[in-house]
Amino acid sequence: MQKVRVDAFSLSLDGFAAGPRQSLQDPLGEGGMALHQWALGTRAFHAAHGGGQQGSTGIDDDFVARSMHNVGAWILGRNMFGPIRGAWPDDTWRGWWGDDPPYHVPVFVLTQHAREPLAMAGGTTFHFVTDGIEAALARARAAAGERDVRIGGGVATVQQYLRARLVDELHLAQVPVLLGAGENLFAGLDLPALGYTVKQHVATPAVTHIVLGRD
């Protein structure tokens, strides 16, 4: 059965998934890259980014591989696609990832400003959706077929789907660092009231993996 998933969503101990002041130099905000070091050295991450079979194995690698398995479409918020705000000045911004983004399936970007679809190398096409989260999910479900839909973030996007009870499974990777400011996933969010409970948790030297689901 098709699922809507949030996977490998890294958080600081104080709940921040991105640092403040996003920029071209700091796409995840100041200090935000520290949240993802647990994944960057794994074999699954290297394989997905053209690095062959190098990298570490073990629990962290298993969760990275799991996050990439059976994904047929992605949904991203506008800030995940780039730092540009407001109307698109032109079509020159093509994402953070170069000519061959790591998605390799259709990606639906939530935005208030229309833009033509952007086809990239490797099977990634960015579709810009202006009519809300449910419309984006309907399109992503259709594109994914029997595979799952993965919501990539950022915080505001994940919160919207959680509040609408549209996320089936949420994998948080809580990293032992403090950011103090930025985008806090838990701000104004009552996960128990939304029906989410802890289904799995396991710690490694780098991170604690917590999987939430709804009964």
Whether the per-residue pLDDT at 25 is higher than 90: the answer is: no
Domain 4-19+29-83+97-214 CATH superfamily: Dihydrofolate Reductase, subunit A (3.40.430.10)
Strands 183-184 and 16-18: antiparallel
Mean predicted confidence (pLDDT) in 163-190: 96
| Residue 192 pLDDT > 80 | yes
Percentage, residues of the chain above pLDDT 90:
83
Contact 42, 64 (CB under 8 A): yes
DSSP secondary structure letter of residue 105: S
Q: Give residue limits of the domains in the chain.
A: 4-19+29-83+97-214
Which helix or strand (DSSP H or E) is residue 205 part of?
none
The DSSP bridge pattern shows strands 125-129 and 183-184 to be unpaired
Task: Give the number of residues written for the chain.
Answer: 215
pLDDT confidence band for 48 (50 / 70 / 90): confident
89-110: per-residue pLDDT in tens? Answer: 998 999 988 999 999 999 999 9
Mean pLDDT of the chain: 94
